[in-house]
């Protein structure tokens, strides 16, 4: 699985994306994947775009932005990844041109947007699989959705209970403002779509909430009992990815481009851009590039799954 080498820098720092760092993303992707940068062919476009929201989407947005700015030298694009909820709030209050979100806008957020005369327009730009990781020394190779739910609600507190070592489970999750946090709660904690679905279930009180995917990898690497979830493109060789079974009788499925594309992997979700109404002007041109063959090639190079 190919990944952006600079992704953890963005995840750890969460700072405004500078043009120089975006160019580093381009060089990294081009050198290790064979995807060439666009030719220097100025189109006359100029202006500034602001993208704010999902931490999961920040690395790929940075590559798209870097490619787009190289092809359009008079364009400046700034990206910030505090979380999907912050991005939607910024769209509503008019402080971002594009909200990047790893979850759909909620009914209450849509109502608030309407009250401010904002019309969120959703665009699916990629697909992503959420990987579940454990410490590399953990012998566990697979878990059912029901077992994962019990771990994250606090019903299972020792790895011995699911066939592992006699080690306390250290349960890690993303913070509440993260779209991945909400998606995982619905699909795993509450077991959405399964006969045992229980919408009243919540993360247990002992779950440690972390601000970024990078923080989760660091903690999982150094803690033998840790378990965490993150976008599959952010996984490193320092941790172990486990397979997920929908039920006890189901096969264990690993996150991969093929299993995300055909939706056999249980944790697949779209990555979204939101604009206020139909995108226009520079925003439209940038999103058009993201959805183009060149833009979707960048996604494949980074471990994401492009849309058909």
183-240 residue pLDDT tens: 999 999 999 999 999 999 999 999 999 998 999 999 999 999 999 999 998 899 999 9
| Segment 244-269, tens digit of pLDDT | 999 999 999 999 999 999 999 999 99
Minimal CA–CA distance to 79: which of 103, 102, 55? 55
pLDDT > 50? residue 19: no
The DSSP bridge partners found for residue 270 are 127
At residue 42, the pLDDT reads: 53
Q: Does domain 7-127+269-301 have CATH number 3.40.50.720?
A: no
Q: Does domain 129-261 have CATH number 3.90.180.10?
A: no
Q: Say which residues have a Cβ less than 8 Å from residue 44's Cβ, sequence separation at least 6.
A: 74
Quote the mean pLDDT of the chain: 88
pLDDT > 50? residue 48: yes
Structure tokens at 243: 């397979």
At residue 43, the pLDDT reads: 67
pLDDT > 60? residue 37: no
Q: How confident is the model at residue 17 (pLDDT cuts 50, 70, 90)?
A: very low
| Segment 134-187, tens digit of pLDDT | 999 999 999 999 999 999 999 999 999 999 999 999 999 999 888 999 999 999
pLDDT > 50? residue 84: yes
Q: What is the mean pLDDT of residues 34-56?
A: 75
Taking only Cα atoms into account, the Rg of the chain, rounded to an integer number of angstroms, comes to 19
At residue 301, the pLDDT reads: 81
pLDDT > 80? residue 3: no
pLDDT > 50? residue 24: no
Contact call for residues 222 and 170 (beta carbons, < 8 A): no
pLDDT > 60? residue 58: yes
pLDDT > 50? residue 9: no
3-state percent helix, strand, coil for the chain, nearest multiple of 5 = 40, 25, 40
Q: CATH 3.40.190.10: which residues of the chain?
A: 7-127+269-301, 129-261
* Strand stretches in 54-179, DSSP E: 74-80, 98-101, 120-135, 142-144, 170-174
Q: How confident is the model at residue 36 (pLDDT cuts 50, 70, 90)?
A: very low
At residue 304, the pLDDT reads: 85
pTM assigned to the model: 0.79
């Amino acid at each position: 699985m190919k990944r952006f080498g600079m992704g953890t820098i963005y995840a750890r720092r969460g700072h405004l994306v500078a043009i120089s760092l975006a160019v580093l993303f381009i060089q990294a992707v081009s050198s290790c994947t064979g995807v060439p940068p666009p030719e220097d062919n100025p189109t006359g476009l100029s202006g500034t775009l602001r993208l704010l929201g999902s931490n999961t989407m920040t690395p790929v947005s940075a590559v798209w932005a870097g490619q787009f700015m190289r092809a359009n030298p008079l364009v400046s694009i700034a990206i910030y990844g505090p979380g999907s909820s912050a991005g939607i709030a910024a769209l509503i209050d008019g402080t971002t041109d594009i909200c990047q979100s790893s979850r759909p806008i909620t009914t209450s957020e849509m109502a608030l947007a309407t009250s401010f005369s904002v019309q969120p327009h959703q665009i699916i730009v990629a697909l992503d699989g959420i990987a579940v990781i454990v410490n590399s020394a953990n012998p566990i190779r697979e878990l059912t959705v029901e077992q994962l739910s019990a771990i994250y609600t606090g019903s299972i507190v020792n790895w011995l209970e699911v066939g592992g070592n006699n080690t306390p489970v250290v349960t890690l999750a993303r913070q509440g403002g993260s779209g991945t946090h909400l998606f995982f709660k619905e699909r795993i904690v509450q077991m959405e779509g399964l006969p045992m679905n229980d919408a009243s279930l919540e993360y247990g009180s002992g779950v440690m909430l972390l601000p970024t995917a990078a923080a989760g990898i660091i903690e999982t690497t150094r803690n033998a009992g840790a378990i965490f979830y993150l976008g599959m493109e952010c996984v490193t060789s320092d941790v172990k990815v486990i397979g997920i079974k929908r039920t006890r009788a189901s096969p264990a499925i690993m996150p991969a481009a093929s299993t995300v594309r055909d939706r056999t992997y249980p944790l697949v979700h779209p990555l979204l851009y939101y604009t206020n109404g139909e995108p226009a002007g520079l925003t439209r041109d940038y999103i058009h590039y993201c959805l183009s063959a060149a833009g979707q090639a960048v996604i494949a190079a980074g471990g994401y799954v492009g849309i058909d």
